[in-house]
Amino acid sequence: MSSSVDRSVGTRRRICAAVFIVIAGLLSASLYLQHVVGLEPCPLCILQRYAFVAVALFALVAALLPNLPGRMAHAAAMLFALAGGGTAAWHVWLQVNPPKFASCGPGLETLLTELPLARALPRIFHGSGDCTEVQWTFLGLSIAGWSLLWFTILFVALVAAARRRS
């Protein structure tokens, strides 16, 4: 019985490591689109990046730590995946149903500059694009649509990984 528990925990940790690697690739793609292609991220895009970073970091901790600390980090990764998915869903809704006067919300830029991560990684999280504007699509999905899809996939993977533990 002990070996099946060890395999379950190992599988959970491997899935969390895979989530970290996938997000590293997604963030690399977003930086490519920003710095090479020239697409400026909007404030909602930046919030989604924060969520991806949080999911990645907590998934990495969950992959590295066993037992309760690993499970707690795993739960935090799932919560941030839900929060990021919610932000992405709102972003997609704004793109499909743009308001008369485009706005992502008052004071968001100020809030973002006050967060410690924004000070540590200013080049990654600098943006000024319009949240309702669709600047780029791939296979019919905007960046916000792809973000929503990936948050969903990552959340499902994390739920599946959580079910692997005993």
Tell me the pLDDT tens digit for each residue of 115-153.
555 554 454 445 555 776 767 667 888 888 899 999 999
pTM value?
Answer: 0.75
Catalytic site residue 14?
no
Catalytic residue (one of 12, 13, 16, 104): 104
Domain residue limits at 73: 2-164
Share of the chain above pLDDT 90, in %: 33
Count of structural domains within the chain: 1
> What CA–CA distance (Å, rounded) separates 150 from 153?
5
Question: What does the mean pLDDT of the chain come to?
Answer: 78
Catalytic site residue 45?
yes
Residues 81-94 pLDDT 10s = 999 999 899 888 88
**Long-range own/partner contacts, residues 70-75 (CB < 8 A, 24 or more apart):** 70/12, 70/13, 70/16, 71/162, 71/165, 74/12, 74/16, 74/158, 74/161, 74/162, 75/162
Residue 68: CATH number of its domain: 1.20.1550.10
Residues 94-114 pLDDT 10s = 888 877 665 554 444 554 555
Catalytic site residue 71?
no
Catalytic residue (one of 12, 13, 16, 45): 45
Total Cβ atoms within 10 A of residue 12:
24
Catalytic residue (one of 7, 14, 49, 163): 49
More confident residue, 68 or 105: 68
What per-residue confidence (pLDDT) applies to 20? 94
Catalytic site residue 42?
yes
CB-based contacts of 1, cutoff 8 Å, min separation 6? none
Catalytic residue (one of 13, 42, 119, 165): 42
Minimum mean pLDDT among 1-5, 85-89, 155-159: which range? 1-5
Catalytic site residue 16?
no
Share of the chain above pLDDT 70, in %: 71
- DSSP track, 103-145: -S-TTHHHHHHHSHHHHHSTTTT-----TT----EETTEEHHH
Q: Are 12 and 58 in contact (CB under 8 A)?
A: no
